[in-house]
């Protein structure tokens, strides 16, 4: 009788004539860990604790490298989208739970729009009020010209999407002209106003809402504008413009001094880190 390994139930002294079969069995046994890893549920919270994803000496992180990159971009940028950050978007949506948990550890919550492929973070507040949580975000309201352009881009995006256009484009000249239409009647520094309008375009480009060459004359409008500036928020800004101008947004006059960058708050709140 062959002696058996009580743990594995496999004979130690396999018959010499069955060497090929024994080697095949050993290969199958060695392949079991790889097979188990391939079959692992990516949403299983235990997977993160049992995976080996160390990237440097002393690394105790549980995220894979592409997930870490997605997390860093989420913290640094106003938003990510499948259009502007395809690699990070794929890493995020492959397994949202651990990245959401990391953001929660920083008192941030993740908002995910899978239909439009847009994700952004937002500061959370304690339930029932109380002392605010520490924050990595800071108040950075949009300027007057930025606000006017946000209204212009969102309105253009809405109208062209309603007409069946899949991708919406806008000319630099059209944006500058729209800002010019909303100059206060008493404004006399046309040169300064022009510079501020140009900087507003740069600000929206840096925020990822305009896509293309930074020095180009034509941009694609990111579909993130629809998520970050909801119809309700757009109506608030339009009403604000009418109040400030004493006319419709297509007329002349001054635009609101500030519009908040938090997509869910009407006036002032946290912006990107």
pLDDT band per the 50, 70, 90 thresholds, residue 211: very high
List of long-range contacts for 173-178, beta carbons under 8 Å, 24+ apart: 173/217, 175/149, 175/201, 176/201, 178/148, 178/149, 178/152
Contact assessment for residue 192 and residue 241, using Cβ atoms and an 8 Å cutoff: no
pLDDT at 255: 37
12 inside domain: no
Last residue of a domain, one of 123, 157, 172: 123
106 and 75 share a domain? yes
- State if pTM tops 0.85: no
Residue 93 lies in a domain: yes
Q: Is 30 helix (H, G, I), strand (E, B) or coil?
A: helix
Rounded CA separation 233/139 (Å): 18
Q: Among residues 73, 153, 63, 82, which one has the least CA distance to residue 121?
A: 73
Mean pLDDT, range 243-264, rounded to an integer: 43
8 pLDDT band, cuts 50/70/90, is very low
Q: What pLDDT, on a 0 to 100 scale, did the predictor assign at position 66?
A: 95
160 and 81: one domain?
no
197 lies in a domain? yes
Same domain for 162 and 99, yes or no, is no
pLDDT at 22 over 70: no
- Average of pLDDT values for 135-160? 85
As a whole number, mean pLDDT of residues 44-70 equals 76
Q: Confidence band (pLDDT; 50, 70, 90) for 2?
A: very low
In a domain, 40, yes or no: no
Percent of the chain that is helix, strand, coil (3-state, to 5): 45, 10, 45
Domain-located, residue 186: yes
Q: Tell me the pLDDT tens digit for each residue of 73-83.
A: 999 988 999 98
Least confident of 62-71, 163-172, 223-232: 223-232
Whether 24 is in a domain gets the answer no
Helices (H), 139-252: 144-162, 172-181, 190-206, 224-228, 231-245
Averaged pLDDT, 202-211: 92
For 82, the domain range is: 65-123
Is 167 a domain residue?
yes
In the block, residue with structure tokens 């692992």 = 40
Average pLDDT of the segment spanning 233-258: 56
Give me the pLDDT at residue 142, please. 77
Count of structural domains, the chain:
2
* SS (HEC) of 31-53: HHHHHHHHHCCCCCHHHHHHCCC
Residue 52 lies in a domain: no
Query: Closest Cα partner for 258 from 144, 102, 120, 97?
Result: 144
> Taking residues 212-240, what's their average pLDDT?
86
The more confidently predicted of residues 15 and 94 is: 94
């Amino acid at each position: 009788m062959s002696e058996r390994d009580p743990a594995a139930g496999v004979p130690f002294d396999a018959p010499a004539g069955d060497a090929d079969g024994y080697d095949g069995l050993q290969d199958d046994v060695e392949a079991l860990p790889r097979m188990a890893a391939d079959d692992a549920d990516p949403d299983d919270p235990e997977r993160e604790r049992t995976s080996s994803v160390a990237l440097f000496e002393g690394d105790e992180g549980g995220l894979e490298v592409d997930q870490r990159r997605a997390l860093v971009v989420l913290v640094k940028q106003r938003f990510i989208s499948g259009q502007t950050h395809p690699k990070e978007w794929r890493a995020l949506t492959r397994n949202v739970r651990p990245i959401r948990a990391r953001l929660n550890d920083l008192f941030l919550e993740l908002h995910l729009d899978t239909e439009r492929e847009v994700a952004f973070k937002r500061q959370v507040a304690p339930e029932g009020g109380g002392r605010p949580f520490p924050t990595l975000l800071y108040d950075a309201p949009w300027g007057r010209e930025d606000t006017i352009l946000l209204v212009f881009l969102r309105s253009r995006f809405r109208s062209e999407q309603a007409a069946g256009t899949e991708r919406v484009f806008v000319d630099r000249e059209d944006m500058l002209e729209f800002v010019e239409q909303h100059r206060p009647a008493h404004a006399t520094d046309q040169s300064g106003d022009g510079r501020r309008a140009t900087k507003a375009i740069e600000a929206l480009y840096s925020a990822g809402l305009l896509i293309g060459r930074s020095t180009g004359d034509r941009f694609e409008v990111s579909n993130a504008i629809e998520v970050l500036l909801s119809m309700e928020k757009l109506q608030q800004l339009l009403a604000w413009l009418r109040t400030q101008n004493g006319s419709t947004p297509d007329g002349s006059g001054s635009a609101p001094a500030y519009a908040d960058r938090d997509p869910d708050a009407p006036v002032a709140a946290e912006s990107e880190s």
